[in-house]
Amino acid sequence: MVMACEETHAALVTAGAPTDFAHATDQFRRDELVHVELCESLLRELGEPASCDEPLAPAVVASDLPPFWFAAEQVVRHFCVGEALSVPLLHAAWRHATHPRIKLVLRRIITDEAAHGQFGWSFLDWARPALDAQVRAHLGRVAAAAIADLREVWDTPTTAWTTTFVREALGRFVLEPLRARGIIPID
């Protein structure tokens, strides 16, 4: 998610979005780095190796889309789908965790993720006057693709027990808010 925040930040700056949106995504990137550090520390504490095999590369933002469209696309993909869905999933994990250190780390992450999960809706509400039918249709396709990517993860046999919860959370925290803004995810 660190790279997603960087990409979104760059797209928002390029599109000339208000600086508070760009500032927020820069803060979210820093939050995500802290989350990685917390999880790595927790893994080491629990006796597991904690290393990332892939180094972080700088964000390269290139698109044939108009800058505003591309910025809105990044926000929908990463925040209206990814982060908005992560909040209820992390909350469920926190409720089911029994190890005190795991609960503490999850609580810290959830605290930050609440703002991340609301960011996309704030952006879309600000952008509403510029979201004509063509842009909303494009964003619907983007949301559908992002949801399809997530489905590949939650439809695996090892996570089948969470499928019902995830689908309910998807409906309530992603699909309903998108539809309320005239964005209909269609494959």
pLDDT by position in tens, the chain (length 187): 888 889 999 999 999 999 999 999 999 999 999 999 998 988 888 887 766 555 555 555 567 888 999 999 999 999 999 999 999 989 988 998 999 999 999 999 999 999 999 999 999 999 999 999 999 999 999 999 999 988 877 766 655 556 778 888 999 999 999 999 999 998 6
Which residue ranges make up each domain of the chain? 2-56+66-180
* Residues belonging to the chain: 187
List the structure tokens of 33: 């780095």
Comparing C-alpha atoms, which of 17, 182, 39 is closest to residue 104?
39
- Report the top-level CATH class of 2-56+66-180: mainly alpha
What's at 49, amino acid-wise? P
pTM, two decimals, is 0.86
Q: How many CA atoms lie within 13 A of 77 on its CB side?
A: 20
Cα of first residue to Cα of last residue in the chain, in angstroms, is 24
List the structure tokens of 45: 């504490």
